[in-house]
A and B are shown apart, each in its own frame.
Chain A
Amino acid sequence: MMRRIYLDNNASTPVLPEVLEAMRPYFGEHFGNASSIHHHGQETRAAVERARNSVASLLGCRVQEIVFTSGGTEGDNLAISGLTGEGDHVITSSIEHHAVLHACRHLEEMGCEVTWLPVDSRSLVDPDDVRRALRPNTKLISIMTANNETGVLQPVEDIGKIAAEADVYFHTDAVQAAGKVPIDVKNIACDALSISGHKMHAPQGVGALFVRRGAHLQPLFYGGRHERSRRAGTENVPGIVALGKAAELAMQGFERGDDKKMSALRDRLQQGILAQVEESAVNGEGAPRVPNTSNIYFDHIEGEAMVISLDLKGLAVSTGAACSAGAIEPSHVLTAMGLRADRARASIRFSLGKQNSEEDIDFALALVPEAVARLRELSPAYRKMVVR
């Protein structure tokens, strides 16, 4: 069996053993519908509310302000569609996840105006740009907390202040920040914030949306009065329990300083690569980043060939954003940062998870420089340059 090391945790993370243990009884033993009045329903209702409490603690909000969803995409869509209406103006950025990007594009089709803010070469949104984009009919600002490709943390607290002063809703997609850095919705001053279970060691198919009390949110689904009529549909109890457990573990991790350990591990990987591979650099260098992500370009290579080569040797990383067919399209994030097309294609994202160890980093450091060297050897442009 080939040794396989997974450094693509921004795509998805493994469910932690404690999380799996916590959710396991809710598949069989405790199976009730959380809306039922009998014993079985009461059991699962209690579990859902305990989980809500944990997620609310992670985000620094009230329990009533948590809506469980099917994941980050639903949370983003619910916030964006639910807080706006025809004729409204929305401000967002050009580096959002497709869940926000395409939801806003849909708003445009439905009669909203959308301002797409640019980013600088580090992938940072300028809060002054947000201020300048405000209009009398601006209803919503949606800017992500951390970018999925570069890991760069946006100035969401500054943007939150601007939104509050202008009395405009502020939503932030915190899918790539939750569990990696401490989050407090009071500090961000946001009205809505989405998180996803499988990016923080809970399973796929569960997420949560924080919606500030008093915010007028239209639901996406109509049905029963689940989640205070904000999200109809029987609760995904095992998933919700798992998300609650993952939130608890994340908070314990912050207390232990796990995030600092993670960033030390990431820095060792990053520095090790940069030291061994010339003509490579970090995308988003100089901006604050989540502790687990490093996006590096290697001039004169094709990221696609690199990902395949590394996968065939047992190392999972990513390049660009995967589309439905599984083909790789040039990253809109790196392009928006002003990265040359060839550099965008030559960029590889390494993203760590709680399961990664020092040995995993050694494994990557043994493979990556060699793979880059081999690909460059085959690149006519690079050979010509070296000879010259």
Chain B
Amino acid sequence: MPSPQTIAVAMSGGVDSSTVAAMLRADGHNVIGLTMQLWNQRRLAEHEGMPEAVTGRCCSLDDVYDARRVAEHIGIPYYVVNHEERFERDVVRPFVAEYLSGRTPIPCSLCNNHLKFDQLLVVAQQIGAECVATGHYARVEYDDVRGRWLLKRPADRSKDQTYFLFGLTQEQLGRTLFPLGEMTKLEVRERARAHGLALAEKPDSQEICFVPGGDYKRFIDAYLSERGESLPETAGEVVTTSGEVIGEHGGVHNFTVGQRKGLGVATGSPLYVIQINGADKQVVVGRDEHLYSRELRARRLNLIAMDELREPMRVSVKIRHRHEGAAAMLEKLADDEILVTFDQPQRAITPGQAAVFYDGDIVVGGAWIA
């Protein structure tokens, strides 16, 4: 058994992180439970169209209650730390801004980069914990040959969360534990039951934690109106790939690349959103085949498996969380810009999402699709 460490566990009130805390405690570590209070779920409740009470999700009182009960049950100190200000600045505002400029953001990655593996690591260090453990399905390993921390896909591929973790730095990875990396979700639930955790059967959370019911359009309206800001004018033209204006739309933030429904244009053959030009407020539509593309450019590169991309590299690239990954060549264009050339054209490459590069199980790195 490894020597006992002081470990802060990021507890969301869900099965995964609760089981992590119970496992580490059973292994004899000095475990401190922390829940990040990131968003006041009641904040926009009074706005039109927003559900009144939000339960069973991150930062709701129910989840804090669940996490606290787990901590009490397994006998560890537990604290709620408030990072609402930072969350709003680094996750919520960029989320809104991305949609309004016609892109499709991933708030979970921003939260991981700026909150869970940044602020939480700071808090952990401040309270004397050597590292932070979370309930993410991923593996982290030190590679002696490369002299680097590696992020790897988990044993349970169906729960793989590495796509959301591509932004982690070496320093962050070096102080992070993913104890569920070798386990399947079924095994995790079994362990939860074995530790007597009442929430072993609690369903997984799916949606973006601060957007109740997944209706991000309503959220944006409510958020801006709460702040006394008016929704910027994002309405514009619907044009075809050949530039023909065939209609008007109510705002670029209502669309995502690949979307078919809700275009408000009647035509014979099915039309899809091919591209969103935030600057011109144009939504470009076309046939399914126009959605396919062999190339993408991405910015704000973070490399994990190596310090620099010196020469083009064969990788498998995931362009969204639920994407299988596709074979491609990765090369550097400029200091902060990379080019991905796929062997086979890929459908609906979406600006604002991440392109994450894999070499087998190893996460090479990732960047934000431009």
Query: A residues engaging B (CB < 8 A)?
Result: 302, 304-305, 308-309, 311-312, 324-329, 374-375, 378
Q: How far is the CA of A326 from the CA of B71 in the complex (A)?
A: 14
Does A326 contact B68, Cβ atoms closer than 8 Å? yes
Give the shortest distance, in Å, between A139 (CB) and chain B (any CB). 29
- For residue B80, which residues in chain A have a CB less than 8 angstroms away from its CB? 325-328
Contact residues of B between 116 and 146, Cβ < 8 Å to A = 122-123, 125-128
Does B82 contact A328, Cβ atoms closer than 8 Å? yes
- Name the one of A302, A311, A325 contacting B37, with C-beta atoms under 8 angstroms: A325
Q: How far is the CA of A378 from the CA of B126 in the complex (A)?
A: 7
Contact residues of B between 65 and 82, Cβ < 8 Å to A = 68, 77, 79-82
Give A311's nearest chain B residue, CB to CB: B77
Q: How far is the CA of A325 from the CA of B64 in the complex (A)?
A: 7
- Name the one of A309, A324, A328 contacting B126, with C-beta atoms under 8 angstroms: A309
- Name the one of A327, A374, A375 contacting B81, with C-beta atoms under 8 angstroms: A327
Give B37's nearest chain A residue, CB to CB: A327
Does B128 contact A312, Cβ atoms closer than 8 Å? yes
Q: Does B328 contact A (CB under 8 A)?
A: no
Besides A308-B123, A326-B68, A327-B80, 10 other A-B contacts (C-beta < 8 A): A304-B123, A305-B126, A308-B127, A309-B128, A312-B127, A324-B61, A325-B37, A325-B64, A326-B79, A326-B80
Give A313's nearest chain B residue, CB to CB: B128
What is the predominant secondary structure among interface residues of chain B facing chain A? Answer: mixed
Give the shortest distance, in Å, between A62 (CB) and chain B (any CB). 43
- Given A304-B81, A308-B79, A311-B77: A325 in contact with B61 (beta carbons within 8 A): yes
Count how many chain B residues have C-beta atoms less than 8 Å from C-beta atoms of the other chain.
Answer: 16
Does A378 contact B122, Cβ atoms closer than 8 Å? yes
- For residue B82, which residues in chain A have a CB less than 8 angstroms away from its CB? 304, 327-329
Q: 1/0 per position for B78-119, CB-CB distance to A under 8 A? A: 011110000000000000000000000000000000000000
Pick 22 A–B contacts, CB within 8 A, sort by A: A302-B126, A304-B123, A305-B126, A308-B126, A308-B127, A309-B126, A309-B127, A311-B77, A311-B79, A312-B127, A325-B37, A326-B64, A327-B37, A327-B64, A327-B80, A327-B81, A327-B82, A329-B82, A374-B126, A375-B126, A378-B122, A378-B125
Q: How far is the CA of A312 from the CA of B79 in the complex (A)?
A: 11
Does A312 contact B77, Cβ atoms closer than 8 Å? yes
- For residue B37, which residues in chain A have a CB less than 8 angstroms away from its CB? 325, 327
Give A380's nearest chain B residue, CB to CB: B122
Q: Does B32 contact A (CB under 8 A)?
A: yes
Q: How far is the CA of A325 from the CA of B66 in the complex (A)?
A: 11
- For residue A324, which residues in chain B have a CB less than 8 angstroms away from its CB? 61
- For residue A304, which residues in chain B have a CB less than 8 angstroms away from its CB? 81-82, 123
Give B81's nearest chain A residue, CB to CB: A304
5 closest Cβ contacts across the A-B interface? A327-B37, A305-B126, A327-B82, A327-B80, A326-B80
- For residue B79, which residues in chain A have a CB less than 8 angstroms away from its CB? 308, 311, 326
Contact residues of B between 282 and 300, Cβ < 8 Å to A = none
Does A305 contact B64, Cβ atoms closer than 8 Å? no
Q: How far is the CA of A311 from the CA of B81 in the complex (A)?
A: 14
Q: 1/0 per position for B314-326, CB-CB distance to A under 8 A? A: 0000000000000
Q: How far is the CA of A374 from the CA of B127 in the complex (A)?
A: 9
- Name the one of B61, B77, B127 contacting A305, with C-beta atoms under 8 angstroms: B127
Q: How far is the CA of A288 from the CA of B61 in the complex (A)?
A: 38
Q: How far is the CA of A328 from the CA of B128 in the complex (A)?
A: 20
Does B32 contact A305, Cβ atoms closer than 8 Å? no
Give B64's nearest chain A residue, CB to CB: A325
Q: How far is the CA of A325 from the CA of B61 in the complex (A)?
A: 6
- For residue B77, which residues in chain A have a CB less than 8 angstroms away from its CB? 311-312
Q: Which of A302, A308, A324, A374 has the most chain B CB atoms closer than 10 A to its own CB?
A: A308
Q: How far is the CA of A305 from the CA of B123 in the complex (A)?
A: 6
Give the shortest distance, in Å, between A317 (CB) and chain B (any CB). 14
Q: How far is the CA of A328 from the CA of B36 in the complex (A)?
A: 11
Q: How far is the CA of A326 from the CA of B37 in the complex (A)?
A: 9
- For residue A302, which residues in chain B have a CB less than 8 angstroms away from its CB? 123, 126
- For residue A311, which residues in chain B have a CB less than 8 angstroms away from its CB? 77, 79
Give B8's nearest chain A residue, CB to CB: A308
- For residue A374, which residues in chain B have a CB less than 8 angstroms away from its CB? 126, 128
Give the shortest distance, in Å, between A301 (CB) and chain B (any CB). 8
Give the shortest distance, in Å, between A1 (CB) and chain B (any CB). 13
Q: Which of B32, B64, B82, B122 has the most chain A CB atoms closer than 10 A to its own CB?
A: B82
Q: Which of A312, A326, A328 has the most chain B CB atoms closer than 10 A to its own CB?
A: A326
Give the shortest distance, in Å, between A302 (CB) and chain B (any CB). 7
